[in-house]
Each structure stands twice: as structure tokens, then as C-alpha cells.
Amino acid sequence: MPGTYIPINYLPVLIILIAATLIGLAPLLIGIILRPRRPYPAKLSPYESGIPPVGEPRERFSVKFYIIAMLFVVFDVEAVFLYPWAVAYDKIGLYSFIEMMIFIYILLVGYIYAWGKGAIEWE
Amino acid sequence: MILSDFNLLSIRVLVPEIILICSALIILLLNLVVKRKETLAFTGLVGTLVSAYSSFKLYALSLSGSEFMGMFAFDGYSIFFKFIFYINIVLTIFISIRYISIEMASFGEYYALLLFATSGMMIMASATDLMVIYLGLELMALSTYILTGILRKQVRSGEAAIKYFLLGAFSSAFLLYGISLTYGLTGTTNLKEIAVAMETLNLLGSPVFLLGLIFFIVAFGFKIALVPFHMWAPDAYEGAPTSITAFMSVGPKAAGFAVLGRVFFEAFGSMHVQWSSILIPLSVLTMLVGSVTAIAQTNIKRMLAYSSIAHAGYALLGIITGTSEGLSSMMNYMLIYAFMNIGAFAVVIMLRSEGFMGEELSDYEGLAKTRPVASSLMLIFMFSLTGIPPTAGFIAKFYIFMSAINAGYTYLVIIAVIFSAVSAFFYLRVVMYMYMKEPKAEVVLSTSTAMNIALTVTVVSTLVIGVFPSALIELARMSLSGF
């Protein structure tokens, strides 16, 4: 390898990735090893509260769900940004406070816009 | 992290972008209360002009170097492109006002999205860090996807938007992959530091680094519609509202070239041999497919889409040279292309009236008999796109070919001139239809004061730059000082 740069700071991320994969796979593997394997048709059919499944699982959803989902994503991401900002607040001070206020005000405009357009009303 | 580098004074380099984004937000809010959408167009225009004035004022401060820890530059190179974007959006607003009311798409969001897209392009032109480039690229791209599909009632507009979106998202993934590979090898996303790391870590021969470079070429190739990454362009250009076709055949293309120039000259400058040997076949293919496929088109928007692909091939010669002369002639090319291409689209838009699409070549038959002024304007734009003196298109091609010859790429120039001659066929066919055929029916032109202003500006610029090019050439050369 010609490059000698090794991103050592990212080692914890790699370890978490590996640990998460292992923790996710482990129950499945343990299940396969331990459980008795006796398949029959009723057991293999998709679970639908004991009722036989009717029709295709893929349906067209009303566009209203998508709008709500999009709004949710926007304000959810806002919360994701707010947490690290709040944790690191005493180190980064006034400058970041102004930046975060700008961010929130831009989202506020989006909120007013969505409200005014009737995106929040269900009917 | 050094946070002391973040001082409030840094914000001044962002003022033009902040003004644009604020005007876009104001338009979004006004849209809820204002009934006459022309008011919003006017607000957008005022916002753009204030932003342009602030750019001009900032330029007078002659700032150099990058602010925000080397992520955002305000140099001559970026300001030149920013003025291309200002010209682009102002002309687009002028040609839009009447047109989108005919198309029944008078949404306030239209103008807000134009401003958002333009601020994205401006961020791209100024970015000196790969992450900031990505940020600007997405802001520009997402806004243009929506603008492409803004004619909600038309199936082909939605189809165009979906195609554009899917391929655009795909190219963004390429860009991110390229960024991650480069970051993995150099440990930085800053363009200058990448160049330094390349020397100190001796990455010149690294195949992974070359792979990252190839990913950049693919990603930017999508944005500037290089063959073979051009598949989205004809459909997106045909389906989009014509004013948006004009907007996105100039703005995103110029922004893509701005980033291409900065990334390849600043970060990968010492790999000129590698990237130019990839770009040369791409540029030849682009000129070939663009010019030859345009001959077969009967829809004028589709024809201009292929012509725009071919023009990307010519402008790429400026990058391939790897010299500052090539770069400045590429910048000239983009500015001149903005005037002549938006002018041509403005004439196409004039033909659109209630109940008449005016997009087929046959609609231009005998236009000179019934509408002599509009035809003569189209004649000038077509001559300019072909590259016939005394129009600006000739100057654009002349300087780009000369810079390529000076850099030793004579064979490429010969190929480009051949395809230039091929392209004369389909440009002059429009002229032939207008002047040498009998009119079939009376064509109603949708004119307005704003449209007349846009046409006057484009035609005067096309002719003036064609006759007195030296001021523009000097301006582009000056913008590159300190680059």
C-alpha cells in the first residue's frame, strides 16, 4: 500500500459495527441451532392473527401518509441535530447558538409553509 | 477541532448565498398570502439583484484564501461563475412569467426553488472542500428535480422528473463513494490538503486513489451530461417546462464545470496525465453522440438537449488542457453559452401559446414570413450555437480551440471542428425551415415586457461579445489570478 494514513480515530466505529452485526446475528444463529425443526403448512404461512392471508401485501397508500412521513423526517432530523449541539454547548458557545437558531428558524418557515398549505390537516 | 477559526467575520463570504436563501424563504411565506404570483417573481428578482450587489461589494474587498477552515473560498474563479448563475436566474425569471401562467403552473414555489437551486450552484462554485461541494450539489439537484416535475398535470413532466431524480441520486452515490475513497487514503476532504497528502503519502500510483478519481469523473459527468452519462438529459429537457430546460441546461452545467475545474486543478493537479486520458475519449464521445443524435430529432427541445450535450464536449476541452488558459476559455464558454442558449429557449417559449405547443420543428416552417423579428432572433442564436462569426458562439469556440492547440491537443481540435460542422446541419435546418418554407398556419407569439427584456439582453450580449470579445477574455483571465 502506498498510503500510510490510518484513520485510528474511527476504530471504535468499526468495533461497534462488528459488535452490532454479531449481536444481530447471534440470536438467529442460536435459534437455528437450538430449536426443533418440524415444518408444516400452517406454521409456514405468514402470520396474520390466525386468519388466512387475503390479497396482495402491496397496496397503494394514500398520498397523505407520505406527506406526514416527510414532515416527520424533517422534524426528526432536527432533533438529531439538537442533541449533540446541546451536549457540546458549553464548549462551542455563542457562535453555535446563533447557528442553531438560524437552523430552527429555517425549519420554522418550513413548518408555517406546511401548515399554510394544509399539509398537516388530515381531511 | 479548532473552533477559534470560526469567527463571525467569516460569515461575510456567505452573504450572497444568505440573501438568496432568505429571499427564497420570504417567497415561500408570501406565497401563502399573495394571490398575484408576479409579485413573487419580482421578489425573487430583487433578492437576486441584492445578492449580486453584495457579491460585487465583496469582490471589491479582494479577499483571498478560504474561510471556514478552508472550506469556502471567495476568489475570482467563484465570482465569475456566480455571475453566470445570476445571469441565468434573472433571464429565467424574465422568460418564465408569461410562460408558466400559460402552462397553468403559477406556483410561488417555482421562484423559491429557482433561488434555492441558484444558491446551491453558488455554494458549489465557492466550495474548496468535498463535503461542501456535495452539500451545494444536493441543494441544486433536489431543487431542479422538483422544478422539472412542476407541471403536475402533465405526464411527461413527471416522467422527466423521476428519470432525472433516479439518475441524479445514482450519480450522487458515485460522488460520495469517490469522496469516501479519497478521504480513506488521504484523511482529509479539503482540496488543498488532498494535493499535499498526495505528495507526502506518495499516492500517485495508488489504484484505489485512481478509482476515487474515476468516481468523481462519473459523478460530475452525470451533472454536465457527458456521454455515456447523458441518458437522463434528453428526456428531462423535453419533459421539463421550457423555462426550466433553459435554466438547467446552463446553471447546473456551469456549476458542474466549476467544480470539475476546481477539483481537478486544485486537488488532482499532479494527476493531469491520468484524468486527461480519461476525459479525452469522453469528450470525443460526447461531441459525437450530441451532434449526430441531434440530427434525428424533430422536437426542438430534444434537439437543443442534444446540442447542449455536444457543447459540454467542446467546453471539456478547456479542462483537458490542464492550463489556466484552458480554464479561462472554459469559463468564457459557459458565460457565452448562457446567453445564446437561454436566448434560443426564449424564442421556443414565445411560440408556446394557449392550445399550441410550438415544440415541433415543423412549427417553425415559414416563420420568417409571419414573424420576421422572432425569426431573425432565432437566426442569430442558431448561428451563435453553430459558432459562426460575428456571434459570441464563434468567440467561445475559437478561444477554447486555441487553448487546446497551445496545450498540444491539435488532433482533439480537429475532431471538435468536424463535429462543429456536423452540428451546423441541425442548427441551420431550423433557419432553413423558417426562411425557405411556406407558412402553414398563423403562429401566435406570447410576448410580454419581461420576455422582450430577456430577448434584448441575450441578443445584444451575443452580438456584442461576438464583436468585442477582449473585455470578457480579459475578465476571465483576471478571475483566475491567485487560483
Q: Which chain A residues are Cβ-neighbours of B8 within 8 angstroms?
A: 95
Partner A contacted by B20 (CB < 8 A): no
CB contact under 8 A, A3 and B185: yes
**CB distance from B29 to chain A under 8 Å?**
yes
Do A113 and B29 lie within an 8 Å CB cutoff? yes
Instruction: Please provide the DSSP assignment of B198-212 as one string.
Output: HHHTT-TT-HHHHHH
pLDDT band (50, 70, 90) for residue B8: low
What pLDDT, on a 0 to 100 scale, did the predictor assign at position B318? 93
Least confident among A43-52, B227-236, B426-435, B445-454: A43-52
Give the number of residues written for chain B: 483
Q: How far apart are CA B65 and CA B71, in angstroms?
A: 10
B127, with CB counted inside 10 A (0-12, 13-18, 19+), is buried
pLDDT of residue A118: 85
With an 8 Å Cβ cutoff, are B3 and A91 in contact? yes
Q: How far apart, in whole angstroms, are the C-alpha atoms of residue B466 and residue B128? A: 33
Helix (H, G, I), strand (E, B) or coil at B335: helix
* Alpha-carbon span A72 to B87, nearest angstrom: 37
**Test mutation, B15, B17, B20, B32, chain A, max A CBs within 10 A:** B32
- Residues in chain B within 8 Å Cβ distance of A112: 29, 32
CB atoms within 10 A of CB B299: 15
Interface test with A, best of B5, B22, B25, B107 (most A CBs within 10 A): B25
Is the pLDDT at A4 greater than 60, yes or no?
Answer: no
pLDDT given for residue B132 in this prediction: 94
Q: Which residues of A touch B28 (CB under 8 A)?
A: 109-110, 113
Decide if B482 touches A, using CB distance below 8 A.
Answer: no
Percent of chain B with pLDDT over 70: 98
CATH of domain A8-116: 1.20.58.1610
pLDDT higher than 80, residue B207:
yes
Look at residue B2 in the predicted model and tell me its pLDDT. 44
Q: Which parts of B54-107 are beta strand (E)?
A: 66-67, 72-73
Summarize pLDDT for B77-114 with one digit per residue, the tens.
Answer: 999 999 999 999 999 999 998 888 888 777 889 999 99
- Given a cut of 70, whether residue B6 has pLDDT beyond it is no
Nearest to A3 among B29, B31, B201 (CB): B201
Q: Which residues of A touch B194 (CB under 8 A)?
A: none
Closest residue on chain A to B1 (Cα): A92
Q: Quick one: pLDDT at residue B1?
A: 40
Task: Give me the mean pLDDT over the B165-169 stretch.
Answer: 94
Task: Indicate yes or no: CB of A3 within 8 angstroms of CB of B8.
Answer: no
Q: Chain B residues with CB inside 8 Å of A3's CB?
A: 185-186, 201-203, 206, 209
- As a whole number, mean pLDDT of residues B378-388 equals 94
Picking from B185, B186, B193, B271 by the largest number of A CB atoms within 10 A of its own CB, the best residue to mutate is B185
Nearest CB among B6, B25, B201 relative to A4 is that of B201
Pick from B60-74, B124-138, B329-343, B381-395: least confident = B60-74
Query: B184 touching A, CB under 8 A?
Result: yes
Cβ separation A95–B8 shorter than 8 A: yes
CB B52 within 8 A of CB B147: no
Radius of gyration of chain B (CA): 21
Q: How far is A37 from chain B (nearest CA, A)?
A: 42
Check whether A2 has a pLDDT greater than 60: no
pLDDT (tens digit per residue) in A15-31: 999 999 999 999 999 99
Task: Tell me the pLDDT band of B483, cut-offs 50, 70 and 90.
Answer: low
User: What rounded mean pLDDT belongs to chain B?
Assistant: 90
Contacts of A68 (CB under 8 A, 6+ apart): none
What is the grid cell recorded at B131?
463535503
Find out whether the peptide bond into B228 is cis, omega within 30 degrees of 0: yes
The pLDDT assigned to A1 comes to 46
Domain boundaries, chain B: 14-479
Cell numbers at residue B347, please? Answer: 424564442
How many Å apart are CA B8 and CA B65, to the nearest integer?
A: 16
pLDDT over 90 at B465, yes or no: yes
- Residue B3 predicted with pLDDT over 50: no
Top-confidence residue, B447 or B341: B341
Helix (H, G, I), strand (E, B) or coil at A63: helix
Please give the average per-residue pLDDT across B234-245, as a whole number.
Answer: 93
B265 to chain A nearest CA, in Å?
21
- CA distance linking residue B374 with residue B447, whole number of Å: 10
Average pLDDT over residues B270-296: 93
pLDDT by residue (tens digit) across B387-442? 998 899 999 999 999 999 999 999 999 999 999 999 999 999 999 999 998 888 77
Question: Chain A: residue nearest B204 by CA?
Answer: A2
